[in-house]
Structure 1
Amino acid sequence: MTTPATAQPAVISTIAAVELPGPGQPLAGGIFVTRYWLNGQERALILLPGELEGAWGEYGKDVATSYSDGKANTVAMAEAGSKLAGKVLELDAFIPSCLEGQLLMAAKHAGLIILREDRWHWLSTQYSANTAFYVDFEVGWQDGSGKGNERLVRPVRSLLIQ
């Protein structure tokens, strides 16, 4: 049985660079993972507590193809009918992309965050219309799996750094 992620009150969407805590410290309802660049903007990646479980969904549909933008992917998934993506968005969060999944893995190996190693976790980047990427947080490799398979999701959020 997985621990359900709990709904968080609305959180800030931006943060001043001087207000950022150190990696591994609390921020915006989760743990600050790292700074990264996305679509020409510097952002703060935050790992939220809890996890969800479900199928990626939308088998046969070409839905979410960004390798780096998990929020755009998760919105596209939900708009296409993914129940899992809809639940994550209700938390003011998103499913990490392939890039964001690797940033989580790097933080885990640095001892900044704890991630389950006994289950595979969905990423929001699809591999094809029938498969999507998942990550193994034990060793960090990514692969594709049928969108109907049940996997875990660790919701994240991202703040614009000003």
Structure 2
Amino acid sequence: MNAQQQLTPPAIGEVWPGQGGIYGGLRQYPEGLCHVIFATEDVGRHAYGDYGVSTEATSRTDGRANTAILIARPGKHPAAIAAAAHTAEGHADFYLPAIGELHHGWQYAPESFNEEWYYLSSSQYSAHYAYYVGFGVGWLSYGVKGGERLVRPVRRFLQ
């Protein structure tokens, strides 16, 4: 496959060879319009962590920024640590998606996710709660930070 073929995205919801996962389409981020890639599989069920502690990981759109905040607190955020540790096809820039990024996945590639469980986001709701998405019905809600939920890493790169 040549470089041009690698940079031509597949249909949304399909695996993008060489990019580490499932193509989620385009989203606007602080750095510009980016391609979104969801890992092909979950990396287990993990807790958000730091129950009772408020962090600055409150972005509803930028999971990469949230994840950087969370993993700066070593050992305190199992879901963020698991997502950031994920690698695929040579890409090691995965992170725990923000609530808006998970909702984007539900909107455009819901068949790529487990409808039976909730997916944890990197977006903190409060010192005691974090946002999650239920893919079966598309619920955006929040739950106790200590509760384990599925984790699906995501990465992005400029268009």
Pair in the same fold by TM > 0.5: yes
Which runs of no fewer than 5 residues in structure 2 stay unpaired? 87-91
Separation (CA, whole Å) in 1 of partners of 2:147 and 2:103: 21
1:72 to 62, 65, 80: 65
- Partner residue in 2 for 1:59: 51
Sequence identity (%): 32
Computed over aligned residues only, the root mean square deviation of the Cα atoms, in angstroms, reads 2.0
Local SS of the residue matching 1:89: helix
In structure 2, what residue type is equivalent to 1:137? F
SS in 1 for 2:64: helix
1:4 is aligned to none
CA contact (8 A) 2:96 2:122 kept: yes
What is the match of residue 89 of structure 2? Answer: none
| Aligned-pair CA distance for 1:146 | 0.7
Q: Deviations over 1:34-89 (max 9, x none)?
A: 10101150011111122121111011222210010011111211112312211211
- The within-5 A match list for 1:81-92 is 81-91=76-86, 92=92
Aligned to 1:7: none
TM-score, normalising length: structure 1: 0.81
d(CA) in 1 for partners of 2:40 and 2:13? 13
Q: Which amino acid aligns with 2:66?
A: N
Measure, in 2, the Cα distance between the counterparts of 1:84 and 1:138.
Answer: 21
Distance in 1 separating the partners of 2:123 and 2:144: 13
Query: Partner residue of 1:144?
Result: 142
Moved over 2 A (4+): 18-22, 24-27
Of the three residues 127, 132, 146, the one matched with 2:130 is 132
Q: Structure 1 residue 115: deviation in Å?
A: 1.1
Q: Give the equivalent residue in structure 2 for 1:5.
A: none
Q: Residues 79-118 of structure 1: matches in 2 within 5 Å?
A: 79-80=72-73, 81-91=76-86, 92=92, 93-108=94-109, 113-118=111-116
Aligned length: 144
- Amino acid across the alignment from 1:58: D
Tell me, in whole angstroms, the C-alpha distance in 2 between the residues paired with 1:55 and 1:94: 15
Aligned 1:34-53 pairs, distance under 5 A:
34-51=25-42, 52-53=44-45
CA distance in 2 between counterparts of 1:24 and 1:116 reads: 14
1:20 aligns to 2:21 (yes or no): no
Structure 1 residues not aligned, in runs of 5+ = 1-14
Q: TM-score, normalised by structure 2?
A: 0.82
